[in-house]
Structure 1
Amino acid sequence: MLWAMIGGGAFVSALLILYATANSVMAAAFAAAIVTAGTLMIVFRRLYPPADVQAGGIDWSLTREAADNDGAAIAITDRAGRLVCANNLYGEWFQGFATPPSLPIGQGGVTQLTAAGREAWRDGLGSVDLIEANGARLAARVIRSGRAEDHLLWRFTRHRTLDLRAEARRLIEGDGGDRLGEAGIMVALVGGEGRVRTANRAFIVRAAGRPDAAIEGRDFVTMLTSDREGVLRFAEEGPKGNPLRLMQMPLEAGMIESPTLIFLIDDDAAQPERFAGKSGTGRHLQTLLSMLPLGLALTDRDGRFLFINEAFARAATIEPGTMPVYPGDLVVREDKAAVADTVRRFGTGQQALSGDIAVRLRANPEEPVALTIAGARGLGEAAVLLSLKDTSEESKLKRQAEQATKMQAVGQLAGGVAHDFNNILTAIIGHCDLMLMRHAPGDSDYDDIQQIRSNSNRAASLTRQLLAFSRQQTLRPQILQLPDVISEVSNLLKRLLGETVVLEVSHGRDLGAVRADPGQLEQVIVNLAVNARDAMQGRGGGTVTIQTFAVPASEVRQMGSELLPIVDYTALSISDTGSGIPPEILPKIFEPFFTTKEVGKGTGLGLSTVYGIVKQSGGFIFADSKPGEGTRFTIYLPVHHVDPAVETVKPTKLKQGELWGSGTILLVEDEDMVRAVAERALTRHGYTVLTASNGEDALEVLNSGAAIDMLISDVVMPTMDGPTMVRIARKTWPDLPILFMSGYAEEQLRKSIDLDRVAFLPKPFSVQQLAEAARSVMEAK
């Protein structure tokens, strides 16, 4: 087209020149010049085409393709096979940033990688299931990418394998090996060098002639013999021994010297030479595969299942009575092609030994599992052996461990925050008490001080919630009956539940006494009842049922619970007729700060606090719920057997006039505000108070010769803590009364305290509580 335009233009121009000048030579020369100039322009354009603006820009599609492969070694090559870029992990796995496919992976690996590259140029995608590089086992995936599709993206990931060594040795050497022998199955584990590593008793007796023979380390091949027809027999039994059928399963995919699990069964004339059709296997082999604890299945050369044992069906979540046709029927759609192709290659003998691939099962697509595939020879129609490991229990334990770690970390944080907050509240409450001593009711400041003190007590209850959640609160357990606790709190519950909610209470017979903190137990009942009320608000009301009943050890044994120790329990259940809890939320309800309530209507600490109180009291709590049918919380508290010879005396509360005392007290506290308020409180109650800010200063005061009648000390202090200071002081003053105070729970500090004849006062405390504790310790001298 372009040449025609140039020629036409030259011809028209020549005619115009000829008409104007009547000179044919000039017209011909002008036409020739136009043709020459056009030719030069065409040649120049072809030699130097215009730059493609898009080709010179950043190829974002290629960049995204590389960025989406976290944890993989990535390299990009262009059409000429040159390495364009690679990530750091690629440089670590292939030193020197070698250009794929010429990598240090052996000639076989280079050949497979080259074929995958050609397949990617042709079809857009190529892959290699297993290659070895510097002792690591890798899988490769090659993708044609880029805006002009003129680059290859090479992605290398670690190959996940199923290690069967421990399982095989445990099976052979344990009771499983004996049961296999009783079924007529002889099994041996043979190393890559061809020597026996272990075998079951049936194999040892047949191969060595006696059960106590030392067989480990012997050459496996020399223990067998074959005749002209290729029939295998034990060399020990000679030519008249029973014919044997052998099946082997390598334990490491792609390894030439892999340990191999070898099974031998008697090949008598009654056993068919081939599998009995597509749906059955030989009797002995069926018995073998059914008894193994590993998930095993067999397919024919076309990839159709011949046999599946129970372990495989359980791991693949195959429903009883159903039989999938192909292995691809068990996996998600994205993995069907990979599974079918791998089974076909092993079935036709294209792939040697065995290999494994990571697949996602249709029954559980979130968690990949390892599917091991090996070629089966000499088994008639069976051509491929599949192995699938059930990892559901391992995944469950992993999630539980992660949850426990998270709860422990949050608990430590909550305990630390509560400790510091308790010091602040101790100072606020103490100063309020001191101010109230100077202001009588009716004074202008009296109500304001009471309001500050009331809000401080509310904040103290919040810290108790944090400590309860982290199981670090100070409990004051008593021997009590659950009906008595419920009776004390029932009036409060009726007011909290409102008029639309009916409260029903029933108690069982023969209830055993429990040992718990009544105040904390009341908090548990109130929290659960309020949650039940909120669950029924959308239904216009309902019924909350509180029940107590005895659960003897015999019933606990019948329950078969793995969590409940087999002892006698007194149980408390609180149920409602609300909307219930969805199954996906039920496992999370005891987690801290988890709530389904609207913003501002729930902190997420209610049920976590309940859980902490119950567990710290030595009990257990379970939740059962069905959507639309309500929720039931059941608390199991172990029965406390009271010794009749021990008489329990309830402490009597001292009156204000009985709190005055005398004597010298050494007060040790690192927090200035707490030390100041405690000093003023003790001084106002008649004591002489000496103070120290740490353990070293306190020991100096004791060694100064001052007559100290009692030592009050914080537990956790910098440089030297309270228990260490007391141990040193007790060497010189063994009868010195000790009162420890701390924002941490007494139960958490008992291991570090570990001292006799010491009292404990939890923070925050009021002036009266400090005076009562000091008076009690002084009177007990």
Structure 2
Amino acid sequence: MKSLPNPIALPDSLSRATDATLLPDRALAGLVAGAALVSGLLLLWAAGNVALAAGFAAALIAACALMLVFRKLYPPQGVGDGAIDWALTRAAADNEGVAIAITDRAGRLVCANDLFGEWFQGFPVPPGLPVGQGGVSQLTAAARQAWRDGEGQVDLIEANGARYAARVMRAGRTEDHLLWRVTRHRTLDLRTESRRLIEGEGGDRLGEAGIMVALVGGEGRIRAANRAFNARAAGRPDAPIEGRDFVTLLVSDREGVIRFAQEGAKGTALRLMQMPLETGVIDTPTLLFLIDDEYAASGRIAGKGGTGSHLQALLSMLPLGLALTDRDGRFLFVNDAFARAAGLEEGTMPVYPGDLVVGEDKAAVADTVRRFGTGQQALSGDIAVRLLNHPEEPVALTIAGARGLGEAAVLLSLKDTSEESKLKRQAEQATKMQAVGQLAGGVAHDFNNILTAIIGHCDLMMMRHQPGDSDYDDIQQIKSNSSRAANLTRQLLAFSRQQTLRPQVLQLPDAVSEVSNLLKRLLGETVNLVINHGRDLGAVRADPGQLEQVIVNLAVNARDAMQSRSSGGTLTIQTYALPASEVRALGSEILPIANYTALKMSDNGSGIPSEILSKIFEPFFTTKEVGKGTGLGLSTVYGIVKQSGGFIFADSKLGEGTVFTIYLPVHQAEAVVEAVTPKKAKQGELWGSGTILLVEDEDMVRAVAERALTRHGYTVLTATNGEEALEVLAGDIAIDLLVSDVVMPTMDGPTMVKIARETFPDMPILFMSGYAEEQLRKSIDLDRVAFLPKPFSVHQLAEAAKAAITPK
């Protein structure tokens, strides 16, 4: 175990205590005897009674003697007995096949095992592993979940061409460390499996059946061989044959008959069968099977009607999907691996290889098998086909000619790539969703800047117009449309999990009660609303407004699904507690073990077809008619739930209805630093005084914010970036409030504020940004900072400035 960077040492007090316990027994006895004599003399002087003094001293000495006897019988254990045996810890960690690292609360790497350094060169500090930006984001989210829930995990990340899974756990006596366990996705290594088969018991069984087998590399040298091959090719079963040139061990005569060079011209003729382990790879290793002619002549290899039992046993043992056909292309034998890869049901056996593929590929497969079966094609080749049971993705079918096996003329190889394809699709989907999320977040940020300027100018114009003016209604309409556009950007941010949330500790039944009246109006008279609340529900931490939006979106979808019913339908909303014990019993790989409060919304509508159920949370996916749905409703719901730390699942049966279940983790009471939010104030209370430094790189946002603050009585100085702001702060003008954008070119807002705080530690700060506050606060390590999300109105800006500049 590699220790980094804090060595473990005993505290001084414990060291002193240990030294004290190691005092020699003789010195301790002398010390106690002296103390007894002095105590006796003092008692004699005070009481004047010799017997009393002598008895007291004798009792004290006797007690000391008993303590020494007890110490001899039960000697104290040294502190070192309980110390950590790092050699044992290293042995346990390094023999697990798991890369282990430990980080502390400050994010520093405390220790890691050798396998961690082997997989990730230079011992990088998690989550900053070389797994790409998407992988780092997943590891960061897992770490946050581990700090919050005790455990987090990542199913798939890639580094240096390998796939890994990571599990993060909070550990330590005070749970102030994170334990990172990284494991490799186990995939089938045909080279290793073949080598193990050849050199182990399987190779001996093949030799007993008269089959010699060797694994030969692309360069033509032997990498492994069974004992039967060694005995025939080199003279003895234990001969060192690895690394020798395979061709030099064989000879052939004018008629092309192959024999072992060791046996010479009088040796038994051999039948040779070749099977490449991989397709599409240069210099791939190849399995070569050699069989004596005498076995072929005796009919033990291939007889009338198919292959021999020992050859079938050989093909069944190999970890690759293999099948044999005759010259006409009919199947003679199919092993279990081939059946699984082809998607064959148990007990079914196709007649021709073409029966396994889609109609467009039947002719190509039949023609290729015929050419190999008649000897028109040499060695082996690959053909890309689409299986009838899995037509979505093409697979590689390897076809090779077989000679000397009776009726068996063609060897087919098909690899089961279902698990690999599943992992590939998951990685592609995660990458696609991350890219779409980043795009949505960036678009929403730019739109928020534009909408801030539009809404702000509308507010400034409305200050000069009164209701009833000819332009007042037009201005009001512009502002209303801008607010609708702001709602759209909030949906985009919710989908990309970058929405500005105002989380509060609340009870789910209270949130449902707040929105129940609105639901009754939305559902109409034909839909019956039933609400049931469970008992002992734990509090959750979420944004009540966004939680209401989740409930409304799901309710509207349920209403639309029940419109086809002539008698209406029933929407049932249920809240209940889900303790960790029940979560563990569920056995879900997605839901971490913790205490949850659940919200279930079920309807008896038309239901969702199974083929599209997995796509309902994707952005812009909708089953509604053109013009009646944006496809952002459920993706917004998904984003809000995930950003709140929860999970959402959908279950549906066509014609019976749909059930959406949301699990929110029970909030653990702790000291939480809440965001600085301005209190509601009347228009007349927003006027103020003082000097404000406004830092904003967008000209239109800076202009409207400057005019808004000036109209409310403030003196406003402006800067377009962080460097200009620092120059203004270095001047002679005293600044009462710093209002700054977060994301700016050259120098961002947090960096500029950190430098300014070195000179002005008490200066109040108001950040404004179109990105999510929750995301920004994780990257802004500053206290006494207020936040104003974009887009904002003139009134909201004045409120935030008043609250930030007013002494608390």
Question: Which TM-score band (shorter chain)?
Answer: 0.5 to 0.7
Could you tell me how far 1:203 is from its partner in structure 2? 8.2
Please name the residue that 1:293 is paired with.
Answer: 319
Please state whether the residue corresponding to 1:599 is helix, strand or coil: coil
CA RMSD after TM alignment: 4.5
Could you tell me how far 1:707 is from its partner in structure 2? 1.0
**Does the C-alpha gap of structure 1 residues 731 and 176 become closer, same or farther in structure 2, counting only changes over 3 Å?**
farther
Please name the residue that 1:759 is paired with.
Answer: 786
Please state whether the residue corresponding to 1:604 is helix, strand or coil: coil
- Partners of 1:670 and 1:526 in 2: CA distance: 37
* Contact 2:235–2:262 (Cα < 8 Å) also in 1: no
Spell out, residue by residue over 1:503-523, the C-alpha distance to the aligned partner (whole angstroms, 9 max, x if none): 122234443333222211111
Please state whether the residue corresponding to 1:322 is helix, strand or coil: coil
Q: Which amino acid aligns with 2:733?
A: A
TM-score, length-normalised on structure 1?
0.67
- Partners of 1:265 and 1:554 in 2: CA distance: 60
609-618 or 555-564, which deviates more: 555-564
- Partners of 2:675 and 2:299 in 1: CA distance: 84
Q: Is residue 2:719 matched to residue 1:675? A: no
Spell out, residue by residue over 1:151-210, the C-alpha distance to the aligned partner (whole angstroms, 9 max, x if none): xxxxxxxxxxxxxx9943232356997574586678642135542134689989999999
Aligned length: 609
1:426 to 419, 431, 452: 452
**Does the C-alpha gap of structure 1 residues 432 and 334 become closer, same or farther in structure 2, counting only changes over 3 Å?**
closer
* Contact 2:678–2:800 (Cα < 8 Å) also in 1: no
**Does the C-alpha gap of structure 1 residues 353 and 589 become closer, same or farther in structure 2, counting only changes over 3 Å?**
same
* Contact 1:276–1:282 (Cα < 8 Å) also in 2: no
Could you tell me how far 1:665 is from its partner in structure 2? 1.6
* Contact 1:547–1:572 (Cα < 8 Å) also in 2: yes
The 5 Å alignment of 1:111-510 reads 167-172=189-194, 180=202, 188-198=214-224, 216-220=242-246, 247-251=273-277, 259-262=285-288, 273-275=300-302, 278=305, 281-283=308-310, 285-434=311-460, 452-510=478-536
* Contact 1:469–1:612 (Cα < 8 Å) also in 2: yes
2:693 to 655, 658, 666: 666
* Contact 1:232–1:245 (Cα < 8 Å) also in 2: no
Please name the residue that 2:736 is paired with.
Answer: 709
* Contact 1:250–1:353 (Cα < 8 Å) also in 2: no
* Contact 1:479–1:513 (Cα < 8 Å) also in 2: yes
Please state whether the residue corresponding to 1:571 is helix, strand or coil: strand
- Partners of 1:702 and 1:587 in 2: CA distance: 55
The share of aligned pairs that are identical, in percent, is 80
Q: Which amino acid aligns with 2:400?
A: A
Spell out, residue by residue over 1:425-484, the C-alpha distance to the aligned partner (whole angstroms, 9 max, x if none): 323433455566677778887776655544443332222112112222111222223222
The 5 Å alignment of 1:41-56 reads none
**Does the C-alpha gap of structure 1 residues 648 and 474 become closer, same or farther in structure 2, counting only changes over 3 Å?**
closer
Please state whether the residue corresponding to 1:361 is helix, strand or coil: coil
214-223 or 698-707, which deviates more: 214-223
Show structure 1 runs of 5+ residues with no match.
Answer: 1-164, 237-242
* Contact 2:678–2:799 (Cα < 8 Å) also in 1: no
Please name the residue that 1:577 is paired with.
Answer: 604
* Contact 2:329–2:370 (Cα < 8 Å) also in 1: yes
**Does the C-alpha gap of structure 1 residues 560 and 653 become closer, same or farther in structure 2, counting only changes over 3 Å?**
same
Please state whether the residue corresponding to 2:386 is helix, strand or coil: strand
Please name the residue that 1:741 is paired with.
Answer: 768
Please state whether the residue corresponding to 2:343 is helix, strand or coil: coil
Q: Which amino acid aligns with 2:789?
A: P
2:563 to 537, 540, 544: 537
1:594 to 621, 643, 666: 621
**Does the C-alpha gap of structure 1 residues 723 and 209 become closer, same or farther in structure 2, counting only changes over 3 Å?**
farther
Spell out, residue by residue over 1:573-607, the C-alpha distance to the aligned partner (whole angstroms, 9 max, x if none): 22211112233433332232332223332222211
Could you tell me how far 1:744 is from its partner in structure 2? 2.1
Please state whether the residue corresponding to 2:345 is helix, strand or coil: coil
Please state whether the residue corresponding to 1:585 is helix, strand or coil: helix
* Contact 1:624–1:633 (Cα < 8 Å) also in 2: yes
Please state whether the residue corresponding to 1:609 is helix, strand or coil: helix
Could you tell me how far 1:659 is from its partner in structure 2? 4.8
- Partners of 1:625 and 1:684 in 2: CA distance: 56
Q: Which amino acid aligns with 1:171?
A: E
Please state whether the residue corresponding to 2:766 is helix, strand or coil: strand
**Does the C-alpha gap of structure 1 residues 266 and 177 become closer, same or farther in structure 2, counting only changes over 3 Å?**
farther
Q: Is residue 2:634 matched to residue 1:612? A: no
Spell out, residue by residue over 1:66-100, the C-alpha distance to the aligned partner (whole angstroms, 9 max, x if none): xxxxxxxxxxxxxxxxxxxxxxxxxxxxxxxxxxx
Higher gyration radius (CA) = 1
Could you tell me how far 1:719 is from its partner in structure 2? 4.6
Could you tell me how far 1:754 is from its partner in structure 2? 4.8
- Partners of 2:639 and 2:237 in 1: CA distance: 57
Q: Which amino acid aligns with 2:371?
A: R
Please name the residue that 2:153 is paired with.
Answer: none
Could you tell me how far 1:333 is from its partner in structure 2? 3.9
- Partners of 1:640 and 1:689 in 2: CA distance: 42
Spell out, residue by residue over 1:330-373, the C-alpha distance to the aligned partner (whole angstroms, 9 max, x if none): 22344334333332333344432211222333334454322111
Could you tell me how far 1:224 is from its partner in structure 2? 9.0
Spell out, residue by residue over 1:246-281, the C-alpha distance to the aligned partner (whole angstroms, 9 max, x if none): 753145789998742135799999997134764674
Q: Which amino acid aligns with 2:543?
A: D
Please state whether the residue corresponding to 1:539 is helix, strand or coil: coil
- Partners of 1:268 and 1:521 in 2: CA distance: 79
TM-score, length-normalised on structure 2?
0.65
- Partners of 2:278 and 2:537 in 1: CA distance: 60
Please state whether the residue corresponding to 1:323 is helix, strand or coil: coil
Could you tell me how far 1:496 is from its partner in structure 2? 0.6
* Contact 1:254–1:352 (Cα < 8 Å) also in 2: no
* Contact 1:252–1:354 (Cα < 8 Å) also in 2: no
Q: Which amino acid aligns with 2:798?
A: A
Could you tell me how far 1:691 is from its partner in structure 2? 2.0
- Partners of 1:760 and 1:514 in 2: CA distance: 23
Q: Which amino acid aligns with 2:590?
A: L
Q: Which amino acid aligns with 2:217?
A: G
